[in-house]
Structure 1
Amino acid sequence: MEKVKFKNSNWDVAANIHFPKDFNPSKQYAAIVCVHPGSSVKEQTAGLYAAGLAEEGFIALVYDASFQGESGGEPRYLEDPATRVEDIRCAVDYLTTLQYIDENRIGVLGICAGGGYAVNASLTERRIKAVGTVVATNASRAYGESDVVQTLEAVGAQRTSEARGEAAKIVPWTPESAEDARKKGMDEFDMLGAINYYRTPRGEYPTANNKLLFKSMSALAVFDAFHLTERLLTQPLLVIVGDKVGAFGSYRDGFTLFNKAASTNKKIHVVKGAGHYDLYDQPEATGEALAQLAAFYNKNL
């Protein structure tokens, strides 16, 4: 693995490149851009998939989203869908500068919210030749479905406060513990799964600090990652979901994406017995997903 940086606008995006065994820089390889979930960083589940794809012979690039992790950009902790999509385009830009990358064999893989961003980028980024998602979620539904008007009113009030000199409001992506979640009435198993992954030694990472700039919610609430997929998502598509359906809606979103996409070369694969977070790091579930992804990218890149 090699640590690298590429530009988005005037800041650096921090990335890791995972190389296949017996990598030869004089040869050319297919490459896959791996896009992490919201609240995540490159060393977590997207890094696991990047490493697994490298073992299958691909170059895999995984990075921290702008404003987050080790990447630059201000304001910090912003989750901005437009910038998240632009990160993907910039990652493709970077790959085309590397002599060992075949620029005609670049794919994308997105996990959770990263799946929605990967899909959305692929609508207009035609250098992406194959699109894979694992438990993809559509931000406008996932973050804006419940009490959206009330949330937007709160964002407006917060922006007024900040315009008058108050500090920016930072909120946690997930409660710090299962006990905290239950006290707040957030005991649905997907939320408990998020806590178990992100807030325990199972998946926590120092740069994944569970901080979200609250005013991000206004952009998330109206960003439809799947808008125009019925016209513009024509690349080969693989959608992977688990059959344990939770409140985060990745099962439903996966089928919505699959049914809506214009691609004539598309497949949906359901991992039996797997929930949303099983497909983040549990060996049996991720092993099955990686086998499907490797076959898909080998066929279509």
Structure 2
Amino acid sequence: MTTMQSVTFKNRTWDLAATLRLPEDFDAGKQYAAIICAHPISSCKEQTAGAIYGEALSKAGFITLAFDASTQGASGGEPRFSEDPATRVEDFRCAVDYLVTLPYVDEERIGVLGVCGGGAYAANVAMTEKRIKAVGTVVATNYGRMMRDGDTSPDAALKTLALIGKQRTAEARGADPLIVGYIPFANRGECERAGIKDVDMLQAIDYYLTPRGQQPGSPNKLRLTSAGAALGWDAFHLAEVLLTQPLHVVFGAVPGAFGSYADGQELYRRARSAHKTMQMVPGASHYDLYDQPEATGQALAQLVPFFQQHLGA
């Protein structure tokens, strides 16, 4: 049986909350490969990254570390509910800093696995954090691209930036922060009555707003002003130059509005990695690869041997 420990580590002056999973028959006198497990945008460590992928990888013999992003979940940091790419990437570096202090972690065998936005962040940090030796992504979604392209109306990104500027001015003058929902609907029926039938949006409601995946650390809240940085960010920028680690990219065969189908293929195509593999899971949607046993089982059937090959078990 794997063992779970609640731990913290620092990013600048605040604590990040994390779950450290130790494999069966763990021996503190030995050294193990370790994998950082990164959650999706709006998610938390108790959901897919930790509970599904972190748990499975620990059962396969790896130490895993799933953490809540800065300003989110049980982690510290201000302003709350921000989704700032620079801070998120630094979270990963701090996770590596923490792992290399553990005597039972082999510093030459540290990998990363990210889901959705966490997958794109994982690829991005690996470009400049070479203590990470192998990268796995599941339905990697380039958050900057999604923020720019999610609204297809004319000049939507520019209009959003203008709105953010006005909101920052208001908050500088004393207004309350504007906290919005990533998912703007309370349930499926409300979404469908608005004429939206996209598989990703409907399944996001199922995952985040029902007992299927709902967790206190994932309250569907975004500080609007933090989106300004994301609108000018590209998770895959310079991948063809700097992303050199072994890479395994997983995405579902069912495309949706969040774009992981195309983003996964773009990441695979652009990565400089000499060893890179791509896996399209038949019949699987974006959210099937969060927690549905058939889809996640297929992903893990290739992710586990990938990490075993490049990190050892």
The alignment's TM-score, normalised by the length of structure 2, stands at 0.95
Aligned equivalent of 1:32, options 32, 35, 41 = 35
Listed one character per residue, the Cα deviations across residues 7-46 of structure 1 (whole Å, up to 9, x for unaligned) are: 0000000000111111111110000000100010000000
Q: Does 1:188 align with 2:198?
A: yes
Aligned equivalent of 2:277, options 262, 267, 276 = 267
Q: Which residue of structure 1 aligns with residue 175 of structure 2? A: 166
Q: Which residue of structure 2 aligns with residue 240 of structure 1? A: 250
CA shift for structure 1 position 235 = 0.5
Listed one character per residue, the Cα deviations across residues 152-182 of structure 1 (whole Å, up to 9, x for unaligned) are: 1111111111111110000011122112323
Q: Check whether the contact 2:114–2:121 (CA below 8 A) recurs between aligned residues.
A: yes
CA shift for structure 1 position 118 = 0.4
1:161 counterpart letter in structure 2: A
Q: Which residue of structure 1 aligns with residue 19 of structure 2? A: 16
Q: Which residue of structure 2 aligns with residue 228 of structure 1? A: 238
SS at match of 1:143: helix
The answer to which of 133-142 and 176-185 deviates more is 176-185
1:287 counterpart letter in structure 2: G
Q: Check whether the contact 2:199–2:285 (CA below 8 A) recurs between aligned residues.
A: no
Give ranges in structure 2 of 5+ residues lacking alignment. Answer: none
Q: Which residue of structure 2 aligns with residue 71 of structure 1? A: 75
Listed one character per residue, the Cα deviations across residues 100-136 of structure 1 (whole Å, up to 9, x for unaligned) are: 0000000000100001110110000000000000000
Q: Distance in 2 between matches of 1:21 and 1:260?
A: 37
Written as runs of structure 1 = structure 2, the 5 A alignment for 1:144-163 is 144-145=148-149, 146=151, 147-163=156-172
Listed one character per residue, the Cα deviations across residues 189-221 of structure 1 (whole Å, up to 9, x for unaligned) are: 110110000000000001211110011211111
2:11 counterpart letter in structure 1: N
Q: Distance in 1 between matches of 2:198 and 2:231?
A: 21
Aligned equivalent of 1:114, options 102, 107, 118 = 118
Give ranges in structure 1 of 5+ residues lacking alignment. Answer: none
Q: Does 1:130 align with 2:134?
A: yes
Q: Which residue of structure 2 aligns with residue 298 of structure 1? A: 308
SS at match of 1:287: helix
SS at match of 2:218: coil
Alignment: residue pair count: 301
1:29 counterpart letter in structure 2: Y
SS at match of 2:133: strand
Q: Distance in 2 between matches of 1:212 and 1:64?
A: 15
Q: Distance in 2 between matches of 1:182 and 1:13?
A: 37
Q: Which residue of structure 1 aligns with residue 86 of structure 2? A: 82
Q: Which residue of structure 2 aligns with residue 178 of structure 1? A: 188
Q: Distance in 2 between matches of 1:217 and 1:33?
A: 25
Percent identity for Structure 1 against Structure 2: 57
Misfit runs of 4+, over 4 Å: none
Q: Distance in 2 between matches of 1:9 and 1:51?
A: 28
The alignment's TM-score, normalised by the length of structure 1, stands at 0.98
SS at match of 2:135: strand
CA shift for structure 1 position 183 = 4.0
Q: Which residue of structure 2 aligns with residue 212 of structure 1? A: 222
